[in-house]
Amino acid sequence: MDQKSDLDDKPQRRLRNERVVVQLNEGDLVIGFYEDEARETADHILKAFRLGLYDTNHVFRVDKGFVAQIADAKFNRRVKTMSELQRQHAEKKIRGEFQNQEINHRLGTLSMARFDDPNSGTTSFSILLGNAPHLDKQYTQFGELIEGFEVLKKLEQLETKREGIFVMPKERIEILSTYVIGGDENNTVDAECARAKKESREKQLRIDSLLRELHEIRASKLPS
């Protein structure tokens, strides 16, 4: 049974029909997206999930009581091949939508990462591990964790190290797989995403095949 979060004590915001399941070795996280808040950001992140941009990415930051942050998809996936559609979306910058938000950063909310430029977000975002009022109206909140609070607790128990301003896990927390539940699965955007994901998988399979072939050639030519 999931523990209750601070979200239970706050006015509930309407969530869209879509749910995203993020699968980690520590368990599954299920996230939802706000219906009436930060629509552009929610659309952007949801499309990134549909494109498979978070598969083999990782949670690069776990700062206990503060945030668990998923890395930017362009540079941090273990599988490096991307279709053109995936690459374009990974590089796309999304404008900040936090200026008029009346939402408190609290346990379970999803908050867009960015650089100093308020319109510099791409695909990195955080799941809040506690209350962080200093982030209010500074970073866009676009959804919240629905299930998996016990998984967040497991992440907080992992060994970490400090690198500059970041508290990072000593071992890679890989996102094994993701999938989207609900929404219109037959629309044009989803069809494009499915094709892009398939193209990326096929490219990776070709690369793996070539690497195996190269290894076999080297093994046959070099003395044992």
User: Given this model, what pLDDT does residue 1 score?
Assistant: 40
pTM: 0.78
194 sits in the region (left: phi over 0; alpha: psi -120 to 50; else beta) called alpha
Reference 7, options 156, 155, 181, 152; nearest CA is: 152
Q: Which amino acid is it at 15?
A: L
Query: Measured between alpha carbons, how far is 168 from 84 in angstroms, rounded to an integer?
Result: 31
Report the 10 Å Cβ neighbour count for 10: 14
92, amino acid identity: K
Q: What was the pLDDT predicted at 183?
A: 78
pLDDT at position 4 is 46
pLDDT at 122: 97
Rounded average pLDDT per 10-residue block, the chain, 224 residues: 47 87 98 96 97 97 98 94 95 96 96 96 98 97 98 98 94 97 64 58 61 66 62
Structural domains of the chain, ranges and CATH numbers in brackets: 6-221 (2.40.100.10)
Instruction: Read off the tokens for 150.
Output: 């016990």
Output the CA angle 25-29-35, nearest 5 degrees.
160
3-state SS, one letter per residue, for 151-206: HHHHHHCCCEEEECCEEEECCCEECCEEEEECCCCCCHHHHHHHHHHHHHHHHHHH
